[in-house]
Amino acid sequence: MNNPISSGGALPQVLICDDDQTFHLAVKYSLKGRFQCRSAMNGDEALAIVRNHPIDLILLDVQMRTPDEGLRYLPRLKEADEDLAIIMSSGLSDFKTVKEALKLGATDYVPKDFDPNELMLTLERALERRSLLQRNEQINFEAQTSQSRYPMVGTTPEMLALRKKIEKFRQSNANVLILGETGTGKEVVARQLRRTFPDGTLMPFVAVDSSTIQGSTAESHLFGHEKGAFTGADKTTKGIFEEANGGIVYFDEVANMSLEIQAKLLRVLQEKEITRMGSARVIPLEFRVVCATNRDLDEMVKAGLFKDDLVQRLNVLPIELPPLRDRREDIPALVAHFIQKENLGNLTFNEEALKTLQDYSWPGNIRELGNLVSYVLAMTEGSEVEVSDLPPKIRDSARNRARAPNDTAVIPGSPMDGDFYSKVAEFEKKILAHEYQVQQGNVSQLALALGMDRSHLYAKLREYGIHTARTQKPQSK
């Protein structure tokens, strides 16, 4: 029998939650070499472990400090990690309790006097079911985004976590703030937050470029107008909030919104009603606001450029998109997607060309990659794209990055001969470490002081081992 493998590729992580130490020892002995086991004596300990460590499966006792503690904590554990497989255990054969546990999200049930082989089979079935559900979720998600020019393609941990967050946020009506550099796919994510109505249609989605809402037409744009409300108003027109009633209003680059328009948006968010120009009738509305920006709104608040109370209204559910340079492993899958979109399935990038793309920094992110693939496919005559087919900018930049750690071709005889890039890296690390201390660990202030994008800064801090709450990974015991 093959060893079961968790979604992370190592031995599956099993949490035994039971107040009986003998049961812990029996399970650990039965699973030795096949599963990695952790222990919790009650529901509170189990919750703390699930929130701070990657757990694939829980063996959860029904009776601990109270007769129904396991049942009470089951929903809370699923809320902490919806992909968690939970198998109930009990010394009592109570069909009613088993049925209730299954309704609450448990995968299966094992008795306390288990047979080791049966226990192993039960755990393996639960993990197989979990893996199948995760795969189906990924297929469904990719199918929903497959028509997009800049899709949510990828299997890196960052992308898997992003998909899970989007699925959770889709079920909410709270406002969402999407943060990310230009070209990372912010509008694609915003569109994924739409739910489907019972008749199969998607809820309305109205996208707005925030910088265009200005001047004398701003109020009409936002709230609509009645016929004759102003010169040229020859018909009644709905504004963006009415158009989005029952759905989502998406404000792209919300940081470009003027303070005057911010005040109007804040009022609508507070009251959830509008009045068209030229009318006194109040129209109640139901909509969700999703905003996107590549700027630090907290810093804009400090500079007096953005309203703090509006940030609080918008940033209820935050989503931060990673830049492409932080998930280079996804580049081959993205290239394959763009080739498919061009209906040129017979063309491929050879291994060296893909490696060159992965060595490039992609300041324009997925948008830049998509444009590059379109250009290369149009210019390539053969069936295989080689490094020589790539633009010089890509080749040169990637070559410099690839040779940087051990470059010896600097200036022969110079003081930094053969060690130029390592000295630059050492100098950069010292600057970051010094400024990090000066800013007392405030990464937003550090990014502002250095003129760096926060996502890029976080990547640099991780690279040099300067740990923040975000870069520090929890250590397994």
CATH 3.40.50.2300 fits 13-137, yes or no: yes
Among 56-70, 130-144, 281-295, 373-387, the range scoring the smallest mean pLDDT is 130-144
**Distance between CA atoms of 159 and 321, rounded to whole angstroms?**
9
How confident is residue 422, by pLDDT bands cut at 50, 70 and 90?
Answer: low
pLDDT digits (tens, 9 = 90+) for 282-303: 999 999 999 999 999 999 999 9
Q: What is the pLDDT of residues 185-224, one digit of tens each?
A: 999 999 999 988 777 778 899 999 999 998 888 999 999 9
DSSP 8-class letter at 206: E
For residues 178 and 294, what is the distance between their CA atoms, to the nearest angstrom?
Answer: 9
236: alpha, beta or left? (left if phi > 0; alpha if psi -120 to 50): beta
Looking at the structure, give the CATH architecture of the domain made up of residues 412-477.
Orthogonal Bundle (1.10)
Q: For the domain 339-406, what is the CATH code?
A: 1.10.8.60
Residues of the chain with CATH 1.10.10.60: 412-477
- For residue 330, give the nearest of 132, 157, 142 by alpha carbon: 157
Q: Is the distance from CB of 17 to CB of 50 less than 8 angstroms?
A: no
> Helix or strand or coil: residue 85?
strand
Alpha-carbon separation of residue 134 from 6, 319, 320 (angstroms): 12, 21, 22
Does domain 157-320 fall into CATH 3.40.50.300? yes
Interval 40-54: pLDDT, tens: 999 999 999 988 888
Sorted by sequence, the CB contacts under 8 Å of residue 408 that are 6+ apart come out as: 417, 418
- Which has the closest alpha carbon to 77: 99, 55, 109, 108? 55
Residues of the chain with CATH 1.10.8.60: 339-406
- State the span(s) of the chain assigned CATH 3.40.50.300: 157-320
